[in-house]
Chain A
């Protein structure tokens, strides 16, 4: 098999689609107006922004006036959590989240903890699932927010979002969900799933980087966390990134329209990939076997370390990621892998391979083929060190 370039890190980011770039181009060039201006240049930009707002709203079953454009997933997560905390702190100071959230959520929660809020970090089972009965027990009269991610970015586990939404709604607590990994891969409907706040990020579904959305259900109380002009109904002041917004609108429209066919193909390839990886031997799957993102493969390759695996894969043209302590910068294995109870040495060999809409079977076959000798080589260097 000839050497090829195989990008299997779509969980980190995706390429910008040609159709999306084409929509964006005019707003990076001739149609450069500020949407707040009243002249024709401004009005043209305003029309484009409002069209994109409608596209995003349609994709998740929301109304356009519930869509707030942000600089990305991180900002949307922060706006939701800090914004609710600021708006409702007189009513209560308790927030519930999970142990496996993205750092955009975890760190926002931790900063509130330092300010005197009390936080409950719900544990997850060995597959990464939050137990609904744990959530029911954790809700207190002073609970103001539940924030639990739709699907996990590392191990791909998809939560029972509708179940969580139902509990929160019946107990009168806001439910925020980080849906950054879910859009374009899973059915997201804020009405049916009783979602009050939801974050997304365009670069995870073939849109541009640096643009995201916070969905805020009409009537949900939120205080802005940045201040300035009147844009985005004062929730997110600052001149809009018009081209980015336009790109996000187009990207989400395409992602939702193609979701059924693309995810069916990805699911099949994903399961084929997992089967091939398990065949190597000494490999275990992380995350839920079925209830997982269509594009997510996460395995632990025992007795081989993640960074070493990534370096070798990269030399063969394969791009992946790992939750190993050696790749984290902090020298701690990922908090997600710890939360699902992986032993240190098993987390050490974690490898995340996230497929894209255009990933082909040949890409998987190539990756499996180059991976086998890499694993054998690294295991030789590990020798008899790890006793299981």
Chain B
């Protein structure tokens, strides 16, 4: 059902956990199947210095969050914001079509975390 790359991220997810003094936090709940994802970012000089996540969802959701955190770690916020769910799915070597919404979760949670960071900066 899933390719090797997805299974690898599912089995050995990168960057699982919480950043206690995060600069931005984004939580997304999936209205459709009830999954939740939360991303924590630490930002330094406009770049994502550290990123961690929690995911309560299927194999594809766990793999997507893991792949996404790897993709954007060290990237500028602008670069990170340009990452779409298709990019995440491509990075994973493809996801079953019924599982595309799981990669949405990851991208959306990241966008929210960046927004959160930006609004904290404004205040």
A binding-site residues for B, Cβ under 8 Å:
303, 305, 307-308, 311, 315, 324-327, 329, 331-333, 344-345, 347-348, 380-386
Contact = CB atoms under 8 A, between A and B. Distances in A.
A327 to B, nearest CB: 8
A327 B101 CA distance: 13
Scoring B2, B11, B62 by chain A CB atoms within 10 A of each residue's CB, the highest score goes to B62
A324 B36 CA distance: 14
A368 to B, nearest CB: 21
Given A326-B58, A344-B34, A384 B101 contact: no
A333 B30 CA distance: 13
Contact of B57 (A311, A326, A383): A326
Interface string B23-46: 000010000111111100000000
Given A305-B57, A326-B57, A386 B36 contact: yes
A381 B54 contact: yes
Contact of B62 (A308, A348, A384): A308
| Chain B contact surface mostly | mixed
Interface of B: 2, 7, 10-11, 13, 16-18, 27, 32-38, 54-59, 61-62, 98, 101-102
A324 B32 CA distance: 12
A303 B61 CA distance: 14
Contact of B58 (A305, A315, A345, A386): A305
A308 B16 contact: no
A382 B54 contact: yes
Nearest to A346: B34
Contact of B32 (A331, A347, A386): A331
B58 A307 contact: yes
A345 B56 contact: yes
A383 B35 contact: no
B101 A381 contact: no
Contacts of B11: 315
A263 B53 CA distance: 46
Contact of A381 (B2, B16, B98, B102): B16
Contacts of B54: 381-385
B55 A331 contact: no
A222 to B, nearest CB: 38
Contacts of B58: 305, 307-308, 324, 326-327
A335 to B, nearest CB: 14
A385 B56 contact: yes
A256 B108 CA distance: 55
A329 B96 CA distance: 11
A324 B35 CA distance: 10
B38 A325 contact: no
Nearest to A311: B59
A383 B34 contact: no
Given A331-B33, A348-B56, 11 more contacts: A305-B58, A307-B58, A308-B62, A311-B10, A325-B34, A331-B98, A332-B33, A347-B34, A382-B55, A383-B16, A385-B27
Contact of A386 (B7, B56, B102): B56
A87 B98 CA distance: 41
Contacts of B32: 325, 331
13 contacts: A307-B58, A308-B62, A311-B7, A326-B33, A326-B57, A331-B98, A332-B33, A348-B56, A381-B13, A383-B18, A385-B36, A385-B37, A386-B36
B34 A348 contact: yes
A333 B57 CA distance: 13
A344 B36 CA distance: 11
Nearest to B38: A385
A9 to B, nearest CB: 16
A345 B61 CA distance: 15
Contacts of B56: 303, 305, 345, 348, 381-382, 385-386
B77 to A, nearest CB: 24
B18 to A, nearest CB: 6
A311 B7 CA distance: 9
A203 to B, nearest CB: 23
